[in-house]
Amino acid sequence: MRLGRLDTSTAIPGLNRDDAYKEILWIPPLVEQRAIVAKIESLFSELDRGVEQLEAVRTQLGRYRQSVLKAAFEGRLTAAWREERRRQAEQAGQSLPTASDLLERIRAERDAAYTQRLREWEQATKAWEAAGGKASGEKKPRKPVEPTDVDPLSHETLSSLPVLPTGWAWCGLESIVEGGRTCAYGVLKPGTNPKNGVPLIRVGDLVNGTVNQDELRHIEPNLSAEFARTVLEGGEFLISLVGAIGRTAIVPDDLAGANTARAVGVVPLTTTVVPKYVEYFFRRSSKIAEMTSLAHEVARKTLNLEDVRRATIAIAPPDEQAEIVNEIDSRLSVVDQIERTIDTALKQAQSLRQSILKRAFEGRLLTETELEAVRADPAYEPAEKLLARIRAERSTAETKPKKKVRRKRTPQETA
């Protein structure tokens, strides 16, 4: 840290040896040096043990986080809620919706969403034509993509998946994509970073299921328009496809109009599913491992968006999805708070290391009792004597004739 201020390089960090040699050091007596080093090592050892314990707790929290997600999507977190709901329906002489009812509801909503987007497109096209069509200089509105009929999962696939609670269903992720929209990649690269440009969400912005907006880059508005299919409306499910595969997030409403980098896949969800429910499902370590296993190795691991679309997901009824999200949130919010406390403690530990070193080299680390013990040591000598001895040793070394090293001649030279 002290020598870092001497770095005057621009591209590659470097240090001038002559500048370093000019630095003035505080030199205590040799016995005191040993005492200071011993105390630093003792204090650092205690800090290391504390940091090790904090890291162990963080690892345990990570395991707990995954156990919560596992229990949630096995239906165990909402088992009592589900039983109470069944009892109430029985008393009212009603029956709860089945998994088939749920899938049919999703299909109906996809069709309705497409019909609505088609109507909006027709109106926009008429307005475009009335304004002069191509002569207006504006692009013709893009027709929404008709939702394709997604085949139900095969019996072979279903038999390989865990059994779900009553009313739940396994389906492909593509089955819950909003009608009239498709899964897509974002723009190719950030380019410039104009202050008033369109926000661009990159892989590094996906943090713990949310979009970190602190360091978002921006792109020119016209560049975003060229990739209109990935202009975000809010609520989309995002998943990283390159490098750190499996990072997920839900687009917040205040980022409506933003776009994504190509390394981020965009999955627009139907309103039959709670977006956070989907994000939590894909945040499970087993699902991330499954996605990673599908990755292709080129220069770096790359996940195909088609593989994401074909991924399976366990869908609970909408009201139970909301209940599951609440149950997970209540547990993980406590974990998040503990992790923030751990992060703060780790930063404090690092600051404490620097504080120890600072006190040590200001002569304030040893207590008066420790200093008295140092001065009582038979080998103790003032720093002036130590420096005088060092100078004498250097002087002797400089005046001593250097021994010539005879170079061994090669066979060719002696021939």
Q: Are 198 and 224 in contact (CB under 8 A)?
A: yes
- Whether residue 321 is predicted with pLDDT greater than 80 in this model: the reply is yes
Q: Beta-carbon neighbour count of residue 316 at 10 Å? A: 26
Q: What is the pLDDT of residue 42?
A: 95
Q: Are 40 and 28 in contact (CB under 8 A)?
A: no
Cα distances (Å, whole numbers) of residue 13 to 10, 16, 20, 90, 177: 7, 10, 14, 73, 50
Tens-place pLDDT, residues 371-393: 999 899 988 888 888 888 888 87
Q: Are 191 and 218 in contact (CB under 8 A)?
A: no
Element spanning 301, H or E: strand 301-302
- Whether residue 415 is predicted with pLDDT greater than 60 in this model: the reply is no
Q: Which amino acid is at 220?
A: E
Looking at per-residue confidence, does 412 or 355 come out higher? 355
Coil vs helix vs strand at 365: coil
How many Å apart are CA 116 and CA 124, to the nearest integer? 12
DSSP letters, 264-285, are: EEEEPBPTTS-HHHHHHHHHSH
For residue 222, give both structure tokens.
Answer: 């016209």
Q: Are 27 and 383 in contact (CB under 8 A)?
A: yes
Phi and psi at 301, nearest 5°, equal: -60, 135
How many Å apart are CA 221 and CA 198, to the nearest integer? 6
Q: What is the pLDDT of residue 411?
A: 64
Coil vs helix vs strand at 260: strand
How many Å apart are CA 173 and CA 262, to the nearest integer? 20
How many Å apart are CA 51 and CA 42, to the nearest integer? 14
Tens-place pLDDT, residues 55-84: 999 999 999 999 999 999 999 999 999 999
Q: What is the mean pLDDT of residues 38-54?
A: 95
Tens-place pLDDT, residues 158-180: 999 999 998 999 999 998 998 88
DSSP letters, 324-372, are: HHHHHHHHHHHHHHHHHHHHHHHHHHHHHHHHHHHHHTTT-SS-HHHHH
Q: Beta-carbon neighbour count of residue 131 at 10 Å? A: 11
| Lowest mean per-residue pLDDT among 15-19, 31-35, 169-173, 242-246 | 15-19
- Whether residue 5 is predicted with pLDDT greater than 70 in this model: the reply is no
Residue whose token pair is 């650092």: 44
**192 pLDDT band (50/70/90 cuts)?**
low
- Whether residue 298 is predicted with pLDDT greater than 70 in this model: the reply is no
Tens-place pLDDT, residues 225-255: 557 778 899 999 999 998 888 899 999 999 9
- Whether residue 3 is predicted with pLDDT greater than 60 in this model: the reply is no
How many Å apart are CA 131 and CA 146, to the nearest integer? 27
For residue 121, give both structure tokens.
Answer: 């497109």
Q: What is the mean pLDDT of residues 367-372?
A: 91
Cα distances (Å, whole numbers) of residue 74 to 146, 169, 181, 282: 33, 12, 30, 14
Q: Are 266 and 230 in contact (CB under 8 A)?
A: yes
Q: What is the pLDDT of residue 189?
A: 64
Angle between the N-to-C axes of helices 318-360 and 79-91, in degrees from 0 to 180, rounded to the nearest 10: 160
